[in-house]
Structure 1
Amino acid sequence: MMAPMTSTKRSHPDDISPKSKTVLTIPNSPSDSSERSPKRVCRLSPTHRGGTSHVSNLKIAVVCSSNQNRSMEAHNLLRKRGFRVQSFGTGSCVKLPGPTVDKPNIYSFDTPYQDQFVDLKRKDSAFYTQNGLLNMLDRNRRIKEKPERFQENQDEFDLIVTCQERVFDQVLENMSERGGNSCKMVHVINVEIKDNHDDATLGAFVIHELAKEICSSEDPEAEVEEIIDTMEKKKKQRFLYSPSFY
């Protein structure tokens, strides 16, 4: 089991290093709980307070590596449930499984899902139907035109949920490099999800439940760590959390 890391209160973008992160773990004893750092004050804009208005106003980004499977499954579910959501990848290109491990299908982020769908269908319709890629791309093209790279997007979000620790680190690194001066806080939370169709579906429901709990909180900025801790106990998995700033 990964040992808890000590969190430090941050008050300015310059205080956030690319690798700074809080690992929130389930306390095994009272002594574990007493070693946890004081609760960090987290701030969302006033429009996010109260009832169901959270669902329509909280701006969420879901991020995986290629903006294909995990982030798009969560994007699809959150969108259907009424959330304002966008999805992204952090990789240098889009990689999809090929006929062998050493022969992936590689596309640029500018390649529409429709074009990827047509390309794989042309290459081997039966194979890519059987492994679920054509079905995945068919879903993706119904949601938006093409994959988007997080590092190239300048929108501001209230909550960023990543699907892999490496992606979590890349998001924090990019945020620290942007040099923004608005000092608007964004909560960055990692929900570790294996990159396969079944786990992406299950992970999307975890992300939805996390977003719903944050939205329904009367004081989300003060309760985000408590919400994450409760989710960890309920789901029996660890989350990574760090504030960042625009």
Structure 2
Amino acid sequence: MANQNSSLVGNGLSNFSVGNILSRRYTNLRGNTSSKLRFAVVCSSNMNRSMEAHSILSKKGFNVSSFGTGTKVKLPGPAANMPNMYSFSTTYAAIYNDLAAKDFNLYTQNGLLNMLERNKQIKPRPERFQECSDTFDVVICCEERVFNQAMEYMISREIKSEHLCHIINIDIQDNHEEATLGAFMMCDICRQLEICRNLNDEVEDVLSTFEEKLKREILHVPFFY
């Protein structure tokens, strides 16, 4: 599995060290427990990839939340240089109504209205990972830029507990077909992580197995909350 430190250098995080994190003493490791892992799935706008995964994982019984890392929610517009931009406080229903009023046929044809219809059945609005105070056992990101933004946030936080979180990245293209495929890949990964007797001891082996199986690079960094 690829060493993720190189991906951080270009983001001003060259002093980051996985070894420094792992060298911290901690006693709250998850062992053989009946409680379920808490998963988060993260893309840029909490619209397509993370919400498709949220939908599928929740239907499969996983304890899952979803987020974006962008500063704004960004959706395709009538032209490449004319995106639709919204704050994360804007509800899926409000975004649906806005797009439907702008051009119902266009946003029906490109799948955005159907996507938003699904989203508003799951939760009221998009959420930003950097504004969430919840703790998770596993955070799965959908592209390396999002992965780096999530890590930048985790690095900036004051460590307040000894709860270990595993941040993972698997690149998924931001289109409806790839989002569906990616959601099922994440479901398979989560299923294997869920049955680990000791997540912290076994996570690397699980991810290496999936990296070989999927022929996709998987990045992984552990962080303390």
**How far did 1:104 drift?**
0.4
Gaps of 5+ in 1: 8-16, 23-40
- The question of whether the paired residues in 2 share the 8 Å contact of 1:21 and 1:241 is answered with no
1:142 to 121, 133, 139: 121
Contact 1:18–1:176 (CA under 8 A) maintained in structure 2: no
CA contact (8 A) 1:21 1:242 kept: no
User: What letter matches 1:107 in structure 2?
Assistant: Y
Conservation of the 8 A alpha-carbon contact between 1:21 and 1:240: no
* Equivalences for residues 204-219 of structure 1 within 5 A: 204-219=183-198
1:150-165 equivalences under 5 Å are: 150-165=129-144
Secondary structure at the aligned position of 2:65 is classed as strand
Cα offset for 1:162?
0.4
- Give me the TM-score of the superposition, normalised by structure 1: 0.81
Equivalence for 1:45:
30
- Correspondence list, 1:91-170, <5 A: 91-170=70-149
Does 2:3 align with 1:5?
A: yes
From the superposition, tell whether residues 101 and 44 of structure 1 become closer, same or farther in structure 2 (CA, over 3 Å): farther
Q: Note closer, same or farther for the CA distance 1:160–1:4 as it changes in structure 2 (3 Å cut).
A: closer
State the Cα distance separating 1:4 from its structure 2 match: 4.6
Cα distance change of structure 1 residues 127 and 155 upon mapping to structure 2, 3 Å threshold: same
Which of 25, 39, 42 is the equivalent residue of 1:63? 42
CA displacement 1:93-135 (0-9 Å, x = unmatched): 0000000000000000000000000111111111101000000
Indicate whether 1:84 and 2:63 are aligned: yes
195, 207, 210: which one aligns with 1:228: 207
Letter in 2 for 1:162: C
Q: 1:42 to 1:85 in 2, by over 3 A?
A: farther
Instruction: Give the aligned residue type for 1:99.
Output: P
| Alpha-carbon contact 2:43-2:49 (below 8 Å) kept | yes
TM-score normalized by the length of structure 2 = 0.88
Distance 1:6 1:111, change over 3 A: closer
Equivalent-residue separation in structure 1 for 2:28 and 2:179 (angstroms): 29
Structure 2 residue runs of 5 or longer lacking an equivalent are 6-11, 19-25
Output one character per residue of 1:150-194: Cα deviation in whole Å (capped at 9) or x when no partner. Answer: 111110000000001011011111011111221211000001100
Residue correspondences, number: 211
